[in-house]
Amino acid sequence: MTVSPPRSATAVSDARKVNVLLMTTGLGIGGAEIVVRDLARSIDRRRFNVSVCCLKELGPVGEQLVGEGIDIVALKEKGQQHVDYFTFLRVRRLIRDRQIDVVHSHTAHGLADSCLCRFLVPGLRVVHTFHFGNYPHTNKTVLRLERIFSRLADRLVAVGNVQSEQIRNVYGLRKGRIQTVWNGVSPSNATPDEGFRKKIGAGGRVLVGTIATLIEQKGLRDLLKVARRCRDAGVEVHFVIVGDGGLRQELESLRDQMGLGDAVTFTGWVKNASEAALPSFDIYFQPSLWEAMSIAILEAMAAAKPVVATRVGETPHILEEGADGLLAEVGDIEAMAAAIAKLARDPELRRRLGSFGRQKALERFTVSHMTGDYESMYLDVLGRRQADVAER
């Protein structure tokens, strides 16, 4: 077990504060991990103590939180090979040591362990957020765990209304059993980096970028087809894919086969990509096959980038066609290429869509909005009022 420096005894024993444990399987790169990170950073320390538990290894986001002094525990050591079927017993010990009032789980494994601990720790409350966006097309074990343990959680949360309806239908939950809390992002004031553009060979072309884990969900084969369509149409754009994952070798080979070596760059992982890479994009492009509620799109909006995306999950409810983004159906290469060409040839349209998108993100999709909704939920499941949890 890897443990960060514990909180002081005073903080742990402060009866007027609520002790919250954010629980996830790991903290690699992804939207759910970013939500956990931002909650851990932004929760109101005057009213709450927060700890984080990773059921497996920390991952890069977890290491980042350790460096920031967040109270974080990893139950699986690096290099550990055997599967531990009794992690809930170690979680129970952590809950008792930290005097946890509310466990907020973010994965099926976390949900299962949280609910088992609810039987073992009197008074413990469980909140669970679903992050997957393509129900029922997920791992059978995940479906089985969520079907069983979602009945035992005190509060269930979807990150979008479309996802909420999917979950309710798949698990036969009554209407109103799932609340929706939209994801949020922090406003960005980062500026474009000419060094980034030079490094990827964008030159003076319009830079079309995406930030993603290179997995099936992200529709990156379609991105390559769109890039070829734009090139064949003489549109002066360069595409950059920031991220890594299991499909990278296949995608790079496909790029080369399509003769796009000078049109598409793969950067691999870029640390703090939303600050280091995103500000240099002229257009943000996300051709996903499915999503729940995309953190990457929210980050692009907050950075005042015009967005071209597919109509999946909550995306068509976040973006308004022609006002702050351009939308296409999944797999519609012609429509996506036309949208990118339209933006590439019209700098004023890019500026206008980006400006409206940023305004909307700052008004509706911030970390502070998201965190405030969860803080109210924690108090509600405990039957406590805001005034009961004030700074001592």
Residue 211, Cα to own-chain centre: how many angstroms?
A: 12
Short-list 31, 26, 28, CA closest to 52: 26
Report the pLDDT value the prediction gives residue 26, as an integer from 0 to 100.
87
Spans of the chain below 70 pLDDT: 1-15, 77-85, 385-392
Residues 6 or more apart in contact with residue 368 via CB below 8 angstroms: 42, 184
Report the pLDDT value the prediction gives residue 10, as an integer from 0 to 100.
38
Report the pLDDT value the prediction gives residue 175, as an integer from 0 to 100.
87
Report the pLDDT value the prediction gives residue 3, as an integer from 0 to 100.
53
Cα angle vertex 365, ends 153, 64, to 5°? 75
| Residues 318-344 pLDDT 10s | 999 999 999 999 999 999 999 999 999
CB atoms inside a 10 Å sphere around CB 305: 25
Strands (E), 255-360: 264-268, 283-286, 307-310, 325-328
Cα–Cα distances (Å) from 243 to 55, 246, 269, 328, in that order, read: 24, 11, 4, 23
Q: The pTM is what?
A: 0.90
- What are the structural domains of the chain? 2-184+366-388 (3.40.50.2000), 194-364 (3.40.50.2000)
